[in-house]
Amino acid sequence: MSDEDDRRAKPERRDPQAPEKGSMPRRAGDSHRVRAAIRDELETLAEAKSDEAPPTPGEGRDPARTVIALENVSLGFDQPILEDVSFSAKGGETIVVVGESGTGKSTILKLLLRLLVPDKGRVCIDGDNITDLTFNEALEVRQKMGMVFQGAALFDSMTVFENIAYPLREHTKLTDDEIEERVREKLSFVDLEPEKVMDQMPAELSGGMRKRVGVARGMANNPEIMLYDEPTSGLDPLTTGTITYLILKLQRELGVTSVVVSHDIRSSFRMASKIALLAEKRIAFFGTPEEMTGSDDKYIREFLGGF
């Protein structure tokens, strides 16, 4: 969903200081129930993770290095969208950006891709401020990133193979044989059988398969950063679990640093190293899922209770 659509769809937020309405006792009960359920789920996940071998970072990926940083970023068009927004991601971390519609979540992805330039502040990739780059310099920075769009955004007139091969033909000097090998490798990584799907058209695929092909295309150039715009939107719970698992797999096996924009709080909590909650144009919370569910902040409790 575009930022303009987000703004049109944004519901009016209740003033936290406004008198309680008749429906609030039920919502407060829902909030308590949902937070308790999420906390139980996080405890179960933590126990499962403790039995796993520690993740192996990708070659050359330093987990102590800050890969992405927004520093006091402000941006507005007809009206302010972001004000004094700051957060960072270290190597191999997955930052999930959540918040109400129209709070500027997708705008953050556009800033990281350098499709937008902030009015104030800095956007840094690998320690370099990208806000003042030329067009060609920005293209070079984007080669470090893979993007998975909402709805996958595959080219309808291209086969699965051609979709994944497209960025390799455009931005690398790989031979045809090397491109085919890379496409097969990425399809296998997202648990699709190359022989079955490479010659299929996007219209022949299920929604979950299209999303997985979108992930394969995003990671075709072996980026160190992956950006996702609503990767689980419109998917059933089982397919949502599959996409969430793939994002975790990229983090654990390849050390990829990710920023995910999502409305799906449960899948967000499964995949996130840190959660960034946007509210009123600012970061209202930045921390682990466990810290978020344990917060006594009134707005955070109401936000979690809405799911």
Structure confidence by residue, pLDDT tens digits, 247-287: 998 888 889 999 999 988 889 999 999 999 999 999 999 99
Position 270 in a domain: yes
**Average pLDDT value for the chain:** 82
- Res 54 pLDDT > 50: no
Flag whether the pTM goes above 0.85: no
Give the count of domains, the chain.
1
Question: Residues of 198-224 as b/e, b for ≥16 C-beta within 10 angstroms?
Answer: beeebeebeebbbbbbbbbbbbbbebb
* Domain containing residue 129: 3-11+22-144+223-305
Position 126 in a domain: yes
Q: Which two tokens stand for residue 155?
A: 């080219």
- Res 141 pLDDT > 70: yes
Query: Token pair 């990229």 is at which residue?
Result: 250
Q: Calculate mean pLDDT across residues 185-193.
A: 93
Q: Where are the beta strands (DSSP E) in the chain?
A: 66-76, 80-90, 94-99, 120-125, 128-129, 145-148, 225-229, 257-261, 274-279, 282-287
- What pLDDT is attached to residue 135? 87
Q: Calculate mean pLDDT across residues 136-157.
A: 86
Q: Which of 61-70, 155-164, 215-224, 259-268 has the lowest mean pLDDT?
A: 61-70
Q: Which amino acid type is present at position 6?
A: D
Position 71 in a domain: yes
Q: Which of 39-43, 81-85, 233-237 has the lowest mean pLDDT?
A: 39-43
- What pLDDT is attached to residue 238? 87
Position 94 in a domain: yes
Position 37 in a domain: yes
- What pLDDT is attached to residue 235? 83
Q: Are 211 and 247 in contact (CB under 8 A)?
A: no
Q: Which of 19-33, 181-195, 240-254 has the lowest mean pLDDT?
A: 19-33
CATH number of the domain within which 40 lies: 3.40.50.300
Position 77 in a domain: yes
Q: Which two tokens stand for residue 71?
A: 């520093």
- What pLDDT is attached to residue 262? 92
Q: What is the pLDDT of residues 74-129, one digit of tens each?
A: 999 889 999 999 999 999 999 999 998 888 899 999 999 999 999 999 999 999 99
Per the model's pLDDT, the better-predicted residue between 75 and 63 turns out to be 75
- What pLDDT is attached to residue 225? 94
- What pLDDT is attached to residue 239? 87
Position 116 in a domain: yes
Position 127 in a domain: yes
